[in-house]
Chain A
Amino acid sequence: MSLDLHIKQQFGDFALDVAFTAGAGITALFGRSGAGKTTVINAVAGLLRPEGGHVHLQGETLFDATRGIFVPPAKRQLGYVFQDARLFPHLSVVDNLTFGARYAPSGAAGPDLADVIKLLGLEHVQNRAPNTLSGGEKQRVALGRALLSRPRLLLMDEPLASLDGPRKQEILPYLERLRDGPLGLPILYVSHAVDEVARLADTLVLVQDGRVRADGPLFEVMSDPAAVPLLGVREAGAVIEADVLEHADDGLSTLRISAGQLELPGVQAPVGARVRLRVLAQDVILSLDRPDGLSSVNILPVVIEAVHPGDGPGAAIALRAGNDRLLARVTARAVAELRLKPGLHCHAILKATTVAPGSIGR
Chain B
Amino acid sequence: MTADAAAWQALGLSLWVAFWATLLAMPLALWVAWLLARVPFRGKWLLNAAVHLPLVLPPVVTGYLLLLSFGRSAPLGRALEAVGLQLAFHWTGAVLAAIVMGFPLMVRAMRLAIEAVDPKLEAAAATLGAPRTHVFARVTLPLIAPGILAGAVMGFAKAMGEFGATITFVANIPGQTQTLPSAIWTALQIPGGESAALFMVALACLVAVAAVVISEALARRVAARIAGA
- Let me know if B192 is at the binding interface, CB within 8 A: no
The verdict on A219 contacting chain B, using a C-beta distance below 8 Å, is no
Instruction: List, in ascending order, chain A residues with CB within 8 A of B126's CB.
Output: 46-47, 72-74
A73 to chain B minimum Cβ distance, whole angstroms, is: 4
Q: Is the CB of B225 within 8 A of A90?
A: yes
Chain A nearest CB from B141 CB (Å) reads 10
Select B127's contact among A73, A88, A90, A129, beta carbons within 8 Å: A73
Number of residues on chain A facing chain B (CB within 8 A): 30
CB neighbours of B84 from chain A (8 A):
none
A82 and B120 form a contact (CB under 8 A): yes
Of chain B, the residue at the smallest CB distance from A75 is B129
- The answer to whether the Cβ of A45 comes within 8 Å of any Cβ in the partner chain is yes
> Which residue of chain B has the shortest Cβ distance to A104 in the bound complex?
B129
Contact between B120 and A86 (Cβ–Cβ < 8 Å)?
yes
Which residues of B, 139-171, contact A by the 8 Å Cβ criterion? 139, 142-143
Q: Could you tell me if A78 and B127 are in contact, using CB atoms closer than 8 angstroms?
A: yes
Q: How many residues of B contact A (CB 8 A)?
A: 23
1/0 per residue, CB under 8 A from B, across A40-59: the answer is 00000111000000000000
Q: Does B227 interact with chain A (Cβ within 8 Å)?
A: yes
A89 adjacent to chain B (CB < 8 Å) = yes
B57, CB-defined interface residue at 8 Å = no
Determine if B128 and A131 form an interchain contact, defined as CB atoms under 8 angstroms apart: no
How far apart sit A223 and B117, CA to CA, in the bound complex (Å)? Answer: 46
A146 within 8 A of B: yes
- Chain A interface mostly helix, strand, loop or mixed? loop
B173 at the interface (CB under 8 A from A): no
Instruction: List the B side residues contacting A46 at CB < 8 Å.
Output: 126-127
Determine if B129 and A77 form an interchain contact, defined as CB atoms under 8 angstroms apart.
Answer: yes
Pair B130/A100 contact, Cβ less than 8 Å: yes
B123 touches A47 (CB 8 A): yes
A103 is an interface residue with CB less than 8 A from chain B: yes
**Docked-complex contact A87 and B123, CB < 8 angstroms:** no
- Answer whether residue B220 sits at the interface, using C-beta atoms and an 8 A cutoff: no
Q: Look across to chain A and name the residue whose beta carbon is closest to the beta carbon of B118.
A: A86
Binary interface profile of A, 80-98, with partner B (CB < 8 Å = 1, else 0)? 1010101111100000000
Q: Is the CB of B124 within 8 A of A131?
A: no
Q: Does A79 contact B (CB under 8 A)?
A: yes
A145 within 8 A of B: yes
- The reply on B38 being an interface residue by CB < 8 A is no
User: Known: A86-B121, A104-B129. Contact between A99 and B225, CB under 8 A?
Assistant: no
Q: Does B217 contact A (CB under 8 A)?
A: no
In the assembled complex, A149 has its CB within 8 A of some CB on chain B: yes
Chain B CB within 8 A of A130 CB: yes
* B220 CB to nearest A CB, Å: 15
A78 to B128, CA, bound (A): 7
CA distance A73 to B124 in the complex (A): 9
A-side interface residues toward B, CB under 8 Å? 45-47, 72-80, 82, 84, 86-90, 99-100, 103-104, 129-131, 145-146, 149, 155
Known contacts A47-B126, A86-B229, then 6 further A-B pairs from the complex at CB < 8 Å, ordered by chain A residue: A72-B126, A73-B123, A80-B124, A88-B139, A99-B128, A155-B127
Pairs A–B under 8 Å by Cβ, sample size 25: A45-B127, A46-B126, A47-B127, A72-B126, A73-B123, A73-B127, A74-B127, A74-B131, A77-B129, A78-B127, A82-B120, A82-B124, A84-B120, A86-B121, A86-B123, A86-B229, A88-B139, A89-B225, A90-B142, A90-B228, A99-B125, A99-B138, A100-B128, A103-B128, A129-B228
Sort A-B residue pairs by CB-CB distance and give the 3 closest, nearest first.
Answer: A103-B129, A100-B128, A131-B228
